[in-house]
Structure 1
Amino acid sequence: MSAEGASTHPRLLLDEHLSLPVRLSIAAALARVDDAEFGTVRDAIEVSDPVLSKQIRVLEDAGYVSVRKGYVGKRPRTWLSLTNEGRAALDRHLKALHALIADL
């Protein structure tokens, strides 16, 4: 389409941080809850600790995920939550996916 006009192809509206299936899975899992323990997310999306850690770091750097560390008794724990920015990005990404599919 021309620069003057009409619309942008839906694929151009996809969020680069959510385009990787593991990152999209993380965001989708966290969208359902206020926060979740690292191990719970790991098990829910069926990835290893290193894979989840790496992808969480990317999402945290993008401002999409908040990481909170603490203890339960003497055991260290890490809780993850989707930020407001992350929720908005997920919403935009899903709308772009729906538009892309509807465009077929």
Structure 2
Amino acid sequence: MPPEAPAFDEVIHAPHRLRICAALSAAQKVEFGFLQDRLGLSKSALSKHLTQLADAGYVRQDRAVRDARSRLWLSLTPEGARAYAAHVTALRQIIEQG
């Protein structure tokens, strides 16, 4: 797959949303509680950021019941993966141009 063209993305760029996308890009899916612990965010703060990413079409949220508990699994959509890769490329260009 060719590298994404640089494209700075204001939705992804916010620090917590950037960290969410980085975590999701490293796995096929991540459970909400794991991501919450990893980022050290409250449920409401993480939910707010996930809603913004989902509204942009970047994150998919799937509910599943396991051990009588409802769990929320998160993953980047193909569009989200492309946008994240393009954003990272744009950041690298900014850094390299110093």
Q: TM-score, normalised by structure 2?
A: 0.90
Structure 1 residue 73 displacement after superposition: 2.3
Higher-Rg member (1/2): 1
Structure 1: gaps (5+ residues): 1-9
Matches within 5 A, 1:1-104: 13-104=7-98
- Matches of 2:45 and 2:66, distance apart in 1: 24
CA drift of 1:50 comes to 0.6
The one-letter code of the counterpart of 1:63 is: G
What are the ranges of 5 or more consecutive residues in structure 2 without an aligned counterpart? 1-5
Offset of residue 30 of structure 1: 0.4
The CA distance in 1 between the partners of 2:25 and 2:95, in whole Å, is 22
Return the alpha-carbon distance in structure 1 between the equivalents of residues 87 and 75 of structure 2. 18
CA distance in 2, matches of 1:46, 1:92: 26
Percent identity (aligned):
41
Aligned residues: CA RMSD: 1.1
TM-score normalised to the size of structure 1?
Answer: 0.85
Q: For the residues of structure 1 that align with 2:50 and 2:34, how far apart are their CA atoms?
A: 14
Divergent runs of 4+, >4 A: none
Count of equivalent residues: 93
CA distance in 2: counterparts of 1:55 and 1:15, whole angstroms: 14
What is the CA–CA distance in structure 2 between the aligned matches of 1:78 and 1:71, rounded to whole Å? 9
Measured after TM superposition, the shift of residue 102 of structure 1 is 1.1
